[in-house]
Amino acid sequence: MSASRDIDSLIDMMARLPGLGPRSARRAVLQMIRKRELLLTPLADLMHQVAVTVRECERCGNLGSDRLCDICANEKRANSELCVVEDVADLWAMERGGSFRGRYHVLGGTLSALDAVGPDELRIPKLVQRIEDEGISEVILALNATVDGQTTAHYIADQLEGRVRLTSLAQGVPIGGELDYLDDGTITAALRARKDI
Amino acid sequence: MSASRDIDSLIDMMARLPGLGPRSARRAVLQMIRKRELLLTPLADLMHQVAVTVRECERCGNLGSDRLCDICANEKRANSELCVVEDVADLWAMERGGSFRGRYHVLGGTLSALDAVGPDELRIPKLVQRIEDEGISEVILALNATVDGQTTAHYIADQLEGRVRLTSLAQGVPIGGELDYLDDGTITAALRARKDI
Ligand SMILES: [Zn+2]
Ligand SMILES: [Zn+2]
């Protein structure tokens, strides 16, 4: 029975990952067992490796292997611009965009009355401190356009008002986006922010 | 850079699993890193465990930890009924149904001219052998209602004709439907209403 139990445990644990349910977890586990040498063993090795080596950057909250992450340690990035994001996935999305050359600050979530997340649960005190210490002239609030994201943006704006230039990402129609697929809020925002051609 | 490279490799490999794309792989990896002790390390340990202990049953192709799987080794299961399925996911789906008490034979796929899969790539010769050896009186062909599944069912029916009672799941399996997508009740109903071929 032990192998079946291990497989069941593996499926249960995989099913807890975001984007996977019980069915896709079962299919993923079977696929891994089928490709034991190519997938299962290398995945297990990489996971151990990541579990041992990856840590949060002491300054910005990004992931890396040292006290400071690659971005904080990179002398070519601009110190004057700081982009505030909710989590590391958003930082990665900004980096894929490839046009931002400043530094980041990863909050680690959003303020949420429902989940009892206050400023001290996030990296907000640390953000205020960085504004004091690092000669930052502009803070770009790249938070998600959700209720909690915008509540958090307003809270941070209140904290930093008068100390630094505060900006946010422009709202509008994404490149290649079709109007028919966009939600009404996006269309409304894009219309309000319309500009002369 | 090494931690970032490990994270990237882990995301790339996770993205190869069925049901996961690059975006859900990124989210899954971040979730694992966030829950290092609860998710990342236990997952790595379980994967190693499964990689080392899990093997194919010599008789039926199911997964287990011994020469014979739990079902083949279980003396309470009926020897007279043999259920033929495409893969282990389908066996699991049948077992979730909970009403079949016989044995299984896992083909390991379907015949496919396109993918050059012939009878010898599957466990079809082994199936014919089992009919000779094991005193099986009924073979239930529980193959998917796809073109390749039905082609395979016909091929097997030709091979076994006259030697054994042949039945298939009939009622409740939708056209083009795959067993692993069906709810348990449907599978039970289809099994009860099985008919001779
Ligand atoms: Zn950093
Ligand atoms: Zn077996």
**What would the DSSP string read from start to end of A42-105?**
HHHHHHHHHHHH-EE-TTT--EESSSS-HHHH-TTS-SSEEEEESSHHHHHHHHHH----SEEE
Residues B102, B80: Cα–Cα separation, whole Å: 7
User: Does the pLDDT of residue A37 top 70, yes or no?
Assistant: yes
Determine which of A61-65, A71-75, B75-79, B170-174 has the lowest per-residue pLDDT on average.
B170-174
Return the ligand number nearest the Cα of B73: 2
pLDDT at A1 (0 to 100)? 43
pTM as predicted: 0.80
Examine the pLDDT at A34 and tell me if it is beyond 90: yes
- The partner residue sitting opposite A54, judged by closest CB among B33, B44, B45, is B33
Helix (H) and strand (E) counts for chain A? 8, 6
* Least confidently predicted of A100-114, A126-140, B181-195: B181-195
The whole-chain average pLDDT of chain A stands at 88
Determine, for residues B180 and A54 on separate chains, whether the beta-carbon distance falls below 8 Å.
Answer: no
At residue A82 the predicted structure's pLDDT band, cuts being 50, 70 and 90, is very high
Whether B10 sits inside 8 A of A50 (CB atoms) is yes
- Residue B171: what pLDDT? 52
Q: Where are the alpha helices (DSSP H) in chain B?
A: 2-14, 22-34, 41-53, 70-73, 88-97, 124-133, 147-160, 184-192
Q: How many CB atoms lie within 10 A of CB B127?
A: 22
Query: What does the pLDDT average to over B27-40?
Result: 94
Higher pLDDT pick, A144 / B45: B45
What is chain B's mean pLDDT, rounded? 88
B89 with A27: Cβ contact below 8 A: yes
Count of CB contacts below 8 A, A vs B? 159
Q: How confident is the model at residue B91 (pLDDT cuts 50, 70, 90)?
A: very high
- The Cα angle at residue B80 between residues B78 and B81, in degrees rounded to 5: 80
| CATH 1.10.8 domain position(s) in chain B | 2-53
For residues A103-110, give the mean pLDDT. 94
In the prediction, which pLDDT does B97 show?
Answer: 78
Cβ separation of A54 and B2 shorter than 8 Å? no
* Residue B147's pLDDT band (cuts 50, 70, 90): confident
Please state the separation of Cα A57 from the chain's center in Å: 14
Q: Quote the CA–CA distance of B39 and B167 in Å, as a whole number.
A: 44
pLDDT given at position A125: 94
Query: Residue B12, Cβ neighbours under 10 Å: how many?
Result: 13
Reported as a single tens digit per residue, the pLDDT across A113-127 is: 888 888 888 999 999
Look at the alpha carbons of B61, B64, B69, B75 in this order and tell me if their dihedral is positive or negative.
Answer: negative
Going by the DSSP 8-state scheme, the letter that residue A117 receives in this structure is B
CA-nearest residue to B18 within chain A is A28
CATH fold of A77-167 reads Dna Topoisomerase Vi A Subunit; Chain: A, domain 2 (3.40.1360)
Q: Is the pLDDT of residue A196 over 70?
A: no
Backbone phi, psi, residue A123, to 5°: -90, 40
| pLDDT of amino acid A193 | 73
Binned at pLDDT 50, 70 and 90, residue B177 comes out as low
Look at B3 and A41 and tell me if their CB atoms are within 8 Å.
no
Task: Check if the beta carbon of residue A110 is closer than 8 Å to that of residue A117.
Answer: yes
Residue indicated by tokens 């692993």: B180
CA distances from B161 to A94, A182, B80 (A): 63, 58, 16
Tell me which residue has tokens 């490279």: B5
Q: Is residue A109 scored above 80 in pLDDT?
A: yes
| Contact in structure between A33 and B50 (CB atoms under 8 Å) | yes
B98 pLDDT band (50/70/90 cuts)?
Answer: confident
Write the pLDDT tens digit of every residue in B118-144.
888 899 999 999 999 998 999 999 988
Q: Please give the CATH number for the structural domain made up of B2-53.
A: 1.10.8
pLDDT in tens, A125-173: 999 999 999 989 999 888 887 888 889 999 999 999 999 999 888 777 7
Name, in order, each residue with C-beta under 8 angstroms of A69's C-beta and a sequence gap of 6 or more: A57, A59, A60, A62, A63
Smallest Cα distance from A83 to chain B, Å:
20
Phi-psi region of A56 (alpha: psi -120 to 50; beta: other; left: phi over 0): beta
Q: Chain A: residue nearest B26 by CA?
A: A89
Specify the range with the lowest mean pLDDT, choosing from A99-103, B51-55, B101-105.
A99-103
Within chain A, all domains assigned CATH 3.40.1360.10 are found at 77-167
Taking the C-alpha atoms of residue A113 and residue A119, their distance in angstroms, rounded to an integer, is 11
Confidence class of residue B77 from pLDDT cuts 50, 70 and 90?
A: very high
How many CB atoms within 10 Å of residue B90? 23
> Which pLDDT value is given to residue B41?
96
